[in-house]
Amino acid sequence: MIEKNSSLKAFNSFSIDAEAHLLFHFTDLSQHAELLALIKKTKEESRPILVLGGGSNTLFCDDFDGLVIKVELMGIKHTETSEYHLLEVAAGEDWHQLVEQTVEQGINGLENLALIPGVVGAAPVQNIGAYGVELKDFCVQVDYIDLIDGSAHSLTNEQCKFAYRDSIFKGELKDRVLITSVSLKLPKQWQAHCQYGLLQGLNETEESVSALQIFDSVCRIRTEKLPDPKVLGNAGSFFKNPIVSEYLSEQLLSHHSDMPHYPQQDGNVKLAAGWLIDQCGLKGHKIGGAAVHLQQALVLINEDGRATADDVIQLAWFVREQVLQKFAVLLEHEVRFIDAQGETDLLQVIDNV
Ligand SMILES: Cc1cc2nc3c(=O)[nH]c(=O)nc-3n(C[C@H](O)[C@H](O)[C@H](O)COP(=O)(O)OP(=O)(O)OC[C@H]3O[C@@H](n4cnc5c(N)ncnc54)[C@H](O)[C@@H]3O)c2cc1C
Ramachandran region of residue 154, left (φ > 0), alpha (ψ -120 to 50) or beta? beta
Give the residue numbers spanning the domain of 305: 233-352
Position 207 scores a pLDDT of: 58
Residue ending a domain, among 71, 87, 102, is 71
Note whether 237 and 265 are same-domain residues: yes
User: What number does the ligand 1 atom closest to the CA of 73 have?
Assistant: 41
pLDDT of 204 reads: 54
Which CATH number belongs to the domain containing residue 345 in this structure? 3.90.78.10
Domain boundary pick from 71, 90, 112: 71
Judge whether 237 counts as a catalytic residue.
yes
| 100 and 143 fall within a common domain | yes
Is 44 an active-site residue?
no
Of the residues 19, 100, 334, 343, only one is catalytic, namely: 334
Largest CA distance in the chain: 61
94 and 219 co-located in one domain: yes
In angstroms, the CA 299 to CA 291 distance is 9
**Using CA atoms in the order 259, 217, 92, 191, what is the torsion angle rounded to 10 degrees?**
90
Task: Using alpha carbons, select from 195, 213, 196 the residue that is nearest to residue 204.
Answer: 195
Q: Tell me, what amino acid is at 245?
A: S
CB-neighbour burial class of residue 231 (10 A; exposed 0-12, middle 13-18, buried 19+):
exposed
Indicate which CATH number applies to the domain containing 151. 3.30.465.10
Structural domains in the chain (count):
3
Q: Whose CA is nearest to atom 48 of ligand 1?
A: 52
Atom number in ligand 1 closest to CA 119? 25
Is 247 found in the same domain as 183? no
Does residue 334 carry a catalytic annotation? Answer: yes
Report the first-to-last Cα separation within the chain, whole angstroms.
Answer: 34
Q: What is the pLDDT along the chain (353 residues), one digit of tens a residue?
A: 899 999 999 999 999 999 999 999 999 999 999 999 999 999 999 999 999 999 999 999 999 999 999 999 999 999 999 999 999 999 999 999 999 999 999 999 999 999 999 999 999 999 999 999 999 999 999 999 999 999 999 999 999 999 989 999 999 999 999 999 999 999 999 999 887 766 777 765 555 789 999 999 999 999 998 999 999 999 999 999 999 999 999 999 999 999 999 999 999 999 999 999 999 999 999 999 999 999 999 999 999 899 999 999 999 999 999 999 999 999 999 999 999 999 999 999 998 88
Residue 205, pLDDT score: 53
